[in-house]
Structures are given as C-alpha cells and as structure tokens.
Amino acid sequence: MVFRKLPTGVQDILPEECRILTAVRDKLSKKFRLCGFEPVLSGALEYYDTYSDIVNKIPQERMFKLTDTDGKLLVLRPDVTLAISRIAATKLANPHTRLCYFADKWDMQEAGGMTSREIYQAGVECLGEEGAFSDAQAIAFSIECMRETGIDGLIVDIGHVGYFKGILEECGLTDAQSEEVRELINAKDGYNAERILRKAGAKEKTLNTVLAMPTLFGGAEVLARAEALTENPRALSAIAYLKKVYSLLVEMGYEDCICFDLGTVKRLSYYSGIVFSGLVKELGAPLLSGGRYDNLADDFGKHIPAVGFAIGLKRVLVALERQGKLPEKQMLDAVVYCEEGGEGVAYAHFSKLTGEGKSVRLCASYGVEEEVAAERYLATKEGVKRI
C-alpha cells in the first residue's frame, strides 16, 4: 500500500508558505544577531533517559520514541530549552551567554487546531542572568521580535509562579497535588480545585485566593488586587517583583503592550519566577511563550539562572495572514531563455547575472517561464539579446 498522507499533526511546507517562513526566519535571525545572540542547535535525537530521569521530566506519553541499533531508547527532541540547558551545563566553558535557535520539537500529544506534533520554533535563552532588568529585557525583546516579523497589536501577558507557589505553601500539598491544582485552575475548574484544597485542609482565605486567581487578569491594577488577597511572604514578594519589572518596562516604552495574568499558571517545577505569553486578537493561541527557569540546568549538573522565550513560527504565519501582513513575493530580476545550440551562452549569461547578486531563472526553452521579471533574455548560439 502506498501512503500519500502524513501522520496526524505534521504537515509538508509547500513553496509559498516556505518562502514566507524563510522570510520571517531571516528577519528574526538578523534581529538575534544584531542583539548579541549566538546561534546553537541541539541534536534532534537524544536518549530517552535524558528527559525521563530528571526533576523536570517530560511524560513518556508525550515523547516520540525509537530504538537505537544497540537497543537503547531514543527520543526526538521534545523540548528545546531543556536541550540547551543540557548543552550549557555540560559543554559550555562559560555558561554566561546569550543563545538563539531555530529548531523543531516533537510532542506526541499535540495535534489539530492551532497545535502540531512537529513544532517549528525560534527562540532565545539568556543564560547566567538574573534580576528584574534581565526579565524586563527578555519581555521587551520578545515584543521587538514580533514587530520585526510584521506582527501588529501584540500584548504580552505576564505572571509569576511564585504567587501561586506562595499561596499553596500553606496547604501542605505534595508537588503532584500542586501540579494538579495548577492544571485545574488553568482549566477554570474551580470545583475540583476546591475539592483537592479542602481535602488537604486549606484555610478558607487561602481557598478563596486560589479560586479567585482566574479573575486576576488585566492592567497594572491587577497587582493591587492580587496583593490584597494574601499575606503570604512568597506571594507578596512575587507581586513586588512584578511591580519592579513593570516599572522598567514602562521606562523602556512598552506600557501599552503589557497586561498581567496571575490566573494562568505555567508548570511549577519548570518555571522559577516570571512567566509571559505573547498574544494577538486574530489568534486563539499564544505566538510566543517564555519565562524564567533558573533550575533547569541543575538537572544536568550545574546551576545556571536563565530567562528566555520561544516563538511558534507557524502561528506567526497564521497571524500575519489574518492581519494582511504577509510579505510580498519578490519578483525575479531576470529570466534567461535558451534556444537549442545556445546552452553554453545561456549558462554563461545566467552565471554573470547571479554573480552580480540578481535573482535569475534559467529556462530550457522560450516561453515556459510565466513569472514576470524585470529583465528577459534569449540566448542563441550567436549570443544573448534582451527581449
């Protein structure tokens, strides 16, 4: 049987989409380079144990697995940031650096809608950096990267996992229970979140604060509301930190791009501080996602504080299309047609034009090229003439 379809959640990228994707990548690549980021690319295949036997392990059902020739279990790269944390901890003499990448990651469970099992990302990792200014820079840079691609109207939602962790400290939950409550809060499932918290003996005020978290989104006024809901030192410290980051972003000129969302809590063991997502009204999913993950490299033997973000490049293309901002196709500079006997002359002229930096198509016979070009030439054995 001949298979003509691809597995669910993966797709071919056809020439027109590939052209646009390349144009977006080129813009981001230039932006990364001009802002001091060095490129890196991890291996696409890694050992299964690399991601299954660590604190921030990836569930086995999410990884694409295959067997090596020696019988060892391998996986397709399931997380780029974890892979770069491994590189920084084990292979970089000076882990205090800024890295960028363009890479696929594979997620077995994602499929359909705005998600894919093969996810093409661009991203940056600011390694060895700490503090509010570092976090503000990462958020500001994410906005500038989106502007560089042509995206309009980006809003960055900012939160802090310390607020949620602080509130749950008083409940005596296990790490697994805390993660379960986090998932329920993100799903707006207050009933089951309340059930787990009451069973753990949560106080009424703590319970009310957790259940109120899905409403904590909006402008800077959200921070005052969140502050009034708790007396926990860790949660209050997280709010104070968010105020500092916000103040820096206002000074940097990004006030109109910032919102706060303390009710959408990202993975607790993965993130250690500030978290953020970039959204536009034309898309029902984040264009980018990031935050501070100071403890990821610990899994690989070295403590390296870090902040960064990843951009979903295919989502950027969808947003650009819906905003009417797709880059226009560039017209060829020239087409060289060839009559029988003039092949050598045609190729010599084609080489001359491309050597001058022009985009040129060489056609085997006259009339087969339908694209409009600024210059059109016909090569015969007698020579080349413009037509």
Number of structural domains found in the chain? 2
Position 194 scores a pLDDT of 86
Mean pLDDT of the region 96-115 = 83
Specify whether the CB–CB gap between 331 and 372 falls below 8 A.
Answer: yes
Residue 56 pLDDT > 70: yes
Helix (H, G, I), strand (E, B) or coil at 1: coil
Instruction: For residue 363, tell me if it sits in a domain.
Output: yes
pLDDT digits (tens, 9 = 90+) for 144-157: 999 999 999 999 99
Mean pLDDT of the region 324-347 = 91
Task: Write the DSSP assignment of 195-263 as a string of letters.
Answer: HHHHHTT--HHHHHHHHHGGG-EESTHHHHHHHHT---HHHHHHHHHHHHHHHHHHHTT-GGGEEEESS
Let me know whether 63 and 174 are in one domain: yes
pLDDT digits (tens, 9 = 90+) for 287-301: 999 999 999 999 999
In this prediction, residue 113 has a pLDDT band, given cuts at 50, 70 and 90, of low
Position 336 scores a pLDDT of 93
H or E stretch including 289? strand 288-292
Let me know whether 125 and 223 are in one domain: yes
When the pLDDT of each residue in the chain is averaged and rounded to a whole number, the result is 91
Position 57 scores a pLDDT of 87
Helix (H, G, I), strand (E, B) or coil at 187: coil
Position 321 scores a pLDDT of 96
Question: Phi and psi (nearest 5°) for 337?
Answer: -95, 155
Least confident of 26-30, 186-190, 290-294: 186-190
H or E stretch including 142? helix 132-149
Cα 270 to Cα 124: distance, rounded to the nearest angstrom:
17
Averaging pLDDT over each range in 106-120, 151-165, 170-184, which range is the top one?
151-165
Instruction: For residue 4, tell me if it sits in a domain.
Output: no
Position 353 scores a pLDDT of 97
Question: How many residues make up the chain in this entry?
Answer: 387
Let me know whether 311 and 346 are in one domain: no
H or E stretch including 362? strand 360-363
pLDDT digits (tens, 9 = 90+) for 302-320: 999 999 999 999 999 999 9
In this prediction, residue 8 has a pLDDT band, given cuts at 50, 70 and 90, of confident
Greater confidence (235 vs 368) lies with 235
Residue 112 pLDDT > 60: no
Tokens encoding 237: 């410290």
pTM for this predicted structure: 0.91
Let me know whether 364 and 229 are in one domain: no
Q: Which of 292, 322, 352 is the last residue of a domain?
A: 322
Let me know whether 315 and 336 are in one domain: no
Q: Looking at this protein, which amino acid is placed at residue 93?
A: A
Let me know whether 315 and 339 are in one domain: no
Instruction: For residue 1, tell me if it sits in a domain.
Output: no
Instruction: For residue 75, tell me if it sits in a domain.
Output: yes
Position 110 scores a pLDDT of 65
Let me know whether 135 and 98 are in one domain: yes
In the numeric block, the tokens 């993966």 are attached to 10
Among residues of the chain, what percentage have pLDDT more than 90? 71
Strand order in the sheet with 98-106: 38-39, 98-106, 118-127, 306-312, 288-292, 274-279, 155-160, 258-261, 217-218
Residue 362 pLDDT > 90: yes
Position 374 scores a pLDDT of 80
Residue 5 pLDDT > 90: no
Instruction: For residue 6, tell me if it sits in a domain.
Output: no
Residue 323 pLDDT > 80: yes
Among residues of the chain, what percentage have pLDDT more than 70? 96
* Domain at 192, CATH number: 3.30.930.10
Q: Are strands 288-292 and 360-363 parallel, antiparallel or unpaired?
A: unpaired
Let me know whether 308 and 348 are in one domain: no
Residue 368 pLDDT > 60: no
In this prediction, residue 190 has a pLDDT band, given cuts at 50, 70 and 90, of confident
Let me know whether 368 and 282 are in one domain: no
Q: Return the bridge partners of 125, or none.
A: 99, 308
Q: Domain containing 101: what range? A: 15-322
Q: Looking at this protein, which amino acid is placed at residue 128?
A: G
